[in-house]
Amino acid sequence: MNLIKSKQRVADHGEVFTPPWLVEKMLDLVKGETERIDSRFLEPACGSGNFLVPILQRKLAAVEFKFGKSDFEKRHHALLGLMCCYGIELLADNIAECRANMLEVFADYLALDAEDDVYRAASHVLSLNLVHGDAMTMRAIDDAPIRVVEWGYLGKGKFQRRDFRLDVLTGMASFSAEDSLFSALGKHEIFTPSQTYPPMSVRYLAAANDGTGTSA
Ligand SMILES: C[S@@+](CC[C@H](N)C(=O)[O-])C[C@H]1O[C@@H](n2cnc3c(N)ncnc32)[C@H](O)[C@@H]1O
């Protein structure tokens, strides 16, 4: 496996990929979390998904174990697992590869074709969760603040969506440290969403997929 694409990219962006054996060792340090369907992972320099893809595979193994017997539950919990994977990547080709790699693993697991509503919903989710942007400035490529979409499964085929700003979430995390001057700030100020949506179905999410791989 090639761990670099070019010397220039290493020099410009520090682009050296982590080998799979090391990824697995690192994920084993938080094994329980990687095997929980709704644990959330954010990789702020995700490349083409060397960490996110195996995280998704572990979540899908958990889906199979818990919900393998019911097609409805399997499809919805697999989508929830995908919804809990987040990445940020500066380079356009890497983020496109990352979305494609994640979608391929997801579609293979559920044996989906590209016309399936679950496939199109997953594509929409990936366009939101895998952000083309700069993790240092916390701005997307269009210079808008990076948005973190929080997904939840309400049951009976309905998902909940709330949007937050990454800079607010991460800034507030340091405010809440015990010895911080700001520790008195209420938690409600940290977790106030910038937008809240009504419950949505897979069909609704599929219809929101514009096929470009990117979402506003
Ligand atoms: C060392 S590679 C690691 C990729 C992957 N995480 C892995 O372990 O295989 C670093 C990646 O971070 C990206 N990158 C560099 N600076 C970044 C930034 N400020 N924001 C987001 N991504 C960045 C690079 O384009 C590259 O894909």
Check residue 185 and give its pLDDT. 57
Rounded CA separation 80/78 (Å):
5
pLDDT along the chain (216 residues), means of 10: 82 87 98 97 96 98 97 98 98 97 98 97 98 96 97 98 93 61 60 93 94 57
Q: Does residue 216 form part of some domain?
A: no
**Please, are residues 53 and 130 in contact by the beta-carbon 8 Å criterion?**
no
Residue 169 lies in a domain: yes
Protein residues with CB under 6 Å of any ligand 1 atom: 13-18, 43, 45-47, 50-51, 88-91, 94, 134-136
- Looking at the domain assignment, is residue 178 inside a domain? yes
Q: Whose Cα sits closest to atom 6 in ligand 1? A: 46
Looking at the structure of the chain, the number of domains it has is 1
| Residue 157 resides in a domain | yes
Give me the pLDDT at residue 24, please.
Answer: 98
Residue 181 structural domain: 7-210
Q: Give the integer Cα–Cα distance in Å for 22 and 76.
A: 31
Q: Is residue 2 part of a domain?
A: no
Task: For residue 202, report the distance from its CA to the centre of ligand 1, in Å.
Answer: 31
Q: Is residue 23 part of a domain?
A: yes
Is 215 contained in some domain?
Answer: no
